[in-house]
Amino acid sequence: MSGCSTPIETTSTGSSPLAPLNPGMDAVQLDIVYVERDTNDPLLASILWDEVDQVGTVDLQTRSRLRSEGFRVGLVGMTPPRSLQRLLGLKNDLTDAAGTSRPTELVGRQTFLRSGGTTEIQTGMLVSHMEVRLPGESEPVSVEMAYGVLHAEVERLQDGWINLHLRPELHYGNAQLRPVANETEFAYKGGKQIASYRDLEFEVTMNVGEMLIISSDADSSGLLGEKFFVNHEGPRDRRYLVAIRLTDMKKIQPLYEN
């Protein structure tokens, strides 16, 4: 950066006036993986969901609300069913600290969060035009430059366990400075308009090594789940799946210590 700079002053004892680094934080590691398939691919559209636990993932009322909007949610253990292994390209000869197989070549990312930390998980590709029902509206409206997001928050429980809170959001329109409310005031933040579907919020209790999978129902045409996980732009319609794996829970030490 250009401009004038001011040297860091020291106290009379020679110590730095900068605040000391915090001790290592207890971090939750999430691996987030994306799967893309043709919408009619039976492996993602139907076979997978016959092998995945959907009953114990969320309570009955929440599951009914999600299904009514075309969402499918399931939780798998440390040994994923064969259909999911095929979708993720898992290899048995690669293992991690949890003792489970790791994907070799996948589109995704890793994130480290403290308890209460949040991250945004995009569910599909950006769509130039979409007809969608926004929160509080009874009829669909037209939006542009839109994509679905799962707003995720981690709540650390006892060792090896977390609650993962997820809220579907639609991000749309051109990016610009917008007023965003925090705990005490409004602040301006750059980004798209955000529609939060709070009636579809849900949480899942996960153990290290478990994986949460989220996609759309095969019969979700016209529903919100289709808007989040199906892309009709391009030569072929594509369906997406998001897999969120609780990979590890550990203490991360700072790079430098006093």
Count of structural domains, the chain? 1
> What's the domain range around 82?
25-251
Q: pTM score, two decimals? A: 0.79
Examine residue 192 and state whether it is found in any structural domain, yes or no. Answer: yes
Handedness of CA 166, 167, 169, 175 (dihedral sign): negative
Above 90 in pLDDT, residue 108? no
Inter-residue contact 57 to 75 (CB < 8 Å): yes
Above 60 in pLDDT, residue 36? yes
pLDDT in tens, 120-150: 999 999 999 999 999 988 899 999 999 999 9
Examine residue 136 and state whether it is found in any structural domain, yes or no. Answer: yes
pLDDT in tens, 214-253: 999 999 999 999 999 999 998 999 999 999 999 998 766 6
Q: How confident is the model at residue 104 (pLDDT cuts 50, 70, 90)?
A: very low
Examine residue 195 and state whether it is found in any structural domain, yes or no. Answer: yes
Examine residue 217 and state whether it is found in any structural domain, yes or no. Answer: yes
Examine residue 9 and state whether it is found in any structural domain, yes or no. Answer: no
Report the alpha-carbon distance of residue 12 to residue 15 in Å, rounded: 8
Examine residue 19 and state whether it is found in any structural domain, yes or no. Answer: no
Examine residue 258 and state whether it is found in any structural domain, yes or no. Answer: no
pLDDT at residue 99, as a whole number: 42
Examine residue 10 and state whether it is found in any structural domain, yes or no. Answer: no
Query: Quick check: helix, strand or coil at residue 67?
Result: helix
Helix, strand and coil percent figures for the chain, each rounded to 5: 15, 50, 40
**Residue-wise DSSP of 79-146:** S--HHHHHHHTEEEEEE-TTSSEEESS-EEEEEEE-TT-EEEEE-S--EEEEEEPPTT-SS-EEEEEE
126 to 143, 227, 252: CA distances (angstroms): 12, 10, 34
**What are the residues whose beta carbons fall under 8 Å from the beta carbon of 53, sequence distance 6 or more?**
74, 75, 76
